[in-house]
Structure 1
């Protein structure tokens, strides 16, 4: 005569185990997308990308990058990452690249880094050193410095040169707004040496335009190959403001990173 109590206990245990396995095999939570703008831009530069991500069911957060120092800016972004309970994809444009590279360190929930015309520095490199690695950047002649009370300098792009330099493939009216709302970057931030290169341990993705006048395409190609990027997308004719002029392609790459197993 079988032990009825034992049979019932075994049945219950199998039911619980089966339920746990079904949960584990079920759909995993979608990654939260944290978008970090770069110099001479601001959070609204991600608006069209966010619209596309939201339509596909992703939660996106456009971080307000202080643009003061790589370490300090990364700490601000890292705080946002820590506030998210699930997986995170960090996306950085231009100077936002060094910021996400540093912000990923120590945050195990960061599953991918996406560089959108963004610097991916190795330890000791800066935005300045990388941008000068290959010819092609015309940013220096478009910049105007503004003295700060502490003796440092803020850098702006001259409004009348903004579209040609930063957003040549963006409609003129929109480029004028971008020029008027651009946020300055501290010169010291662009010269600050990067710390640990998170792309050595976190999968990276790259997208950039062939007509980028801030970061030479040759520099982007070099960084993508060095980081062994999972996927690299080059958009013919696109400017440095590729997230504004080609939000669909940018959102698609972000979703590739977010959905990768």
Structure 2
């Protein structure tokens, strides 16, 4: 009798173990079958911010900080301001270590520079109140007051003779009147003090084949621009079939309206 009870107890225990084992296997199968892996998000493109004439890399600081806060790698290379070909080569060298997709952003004359950069990993180009010349075209032609009246930059320019030609800057007292009329006097004075001289020959140098002809482009027009008239900006944006938006800003939109600039860059980066 005791033997019979003992065998029954052992059998019951083995049955319980079998049930638990089966349940465990079932749970494991369900977990494996139900597990789903989210598709990997594409890497965000690196953002290259190229400043223009009468400026330096610090003009991008607020825009750059905002973009970095959103997880973008941001590079602010020095633009030598010697001419589109030499400047494009210098920027290309400065960003050579970047791997992965790139969005090029040019402000003012910086647009002529990015127009001459040809890298297969450039997925989009953004022009901020910028020049976007065709092959053989000059910055000077795109700012011709006969075609696009309204610029006040001419009388504000000061010329510094050099051994190899001349360099130009904006007179400090006119910087906040012509270039950045929508920032405080202190900010305008700081920008004027930091501006880098531009070779006078740069604006007369014919551009090479434009990279924007084969890369999606965005253009942010400054409607209160007294350096590059809005009509000239619209002409260039239309010609390159850019996705266009406008902001009521001076020529210095990266400083005075950084949020609008960031929004345009993020739109380009998200579409690339």
TM bracket, shorter-chain basis: 0.7 to 0.9
What is the RMSD of the two structures over their aligned residues, measured on CA atoms? Answer: 1.2
**Distance (Å, rounded) in 2 between the aligned partners of 1:183 and 1:202:** 29
Structure 2 residue 230 is matched with structure 1 residue 210: no
2:256 aligned with 1:256? no
Structure 2 partner of 1:53:
67
Matched, 1:240 2:259: no
Trace 1:5-154 onto structure 2 (pairs within 5 A).
25-103=39-117, 105=118, 107-132=119-144, 133-150=147-164, 152-154=165-167
For this pair of structures, how many residues does the alignment match? 234
| Higher mean C-alpha displacement, 175-184 vs 77-86 | 77-86
5+ residue gaps, structure 2, are: 1-36
Spell out the pairing of 1:220-231 with structure 2 (5 A cutoff): 220-229=233-242, 231=243
Deviation at 1:26, TM superposition (A): 1.8
Structure 1 residue 80 displacement after superposition: 3.0
Runs of at least 4 residues off by over 6 Å = none
Q: Deviations over 1:10-63 (max 9, x none)?
A: xxxxxxxxxxxx79x421111000000000000000010011101111111111
Partners of 1:124 and 1:194 within 8 A in 2: yes
In 1: Cα distance, 2:257 partner to 2:245 partner: 12
Unaligned runs of 5+ in 1: 1-21
Offset of residue 171 of structure 1: 1.3
SS in 2 for 1:113: strand
> For residues 184 and 83 of structure 1, what CA distance do their matches in structure 2 show?
27
- Aligned partners of 2:125, 2:200: CA distance in 1, in Å? 25
Higher CA-based Rg: 2
- Whether 1:187 and 2:197 are equivalent positions in the alignment is no
Distance 2:160 2:170 in 1: 11
Q: What TM-score, normalized by structure 2, do the two folds share?
A: 0.84
What's the CA shift for 1:204?
0.6
DSSP-derived class of the 2:94 partner: helix
Structure 2 distance, partners of 1:69, 1:195, is 11
Aligned to 2:170: 157
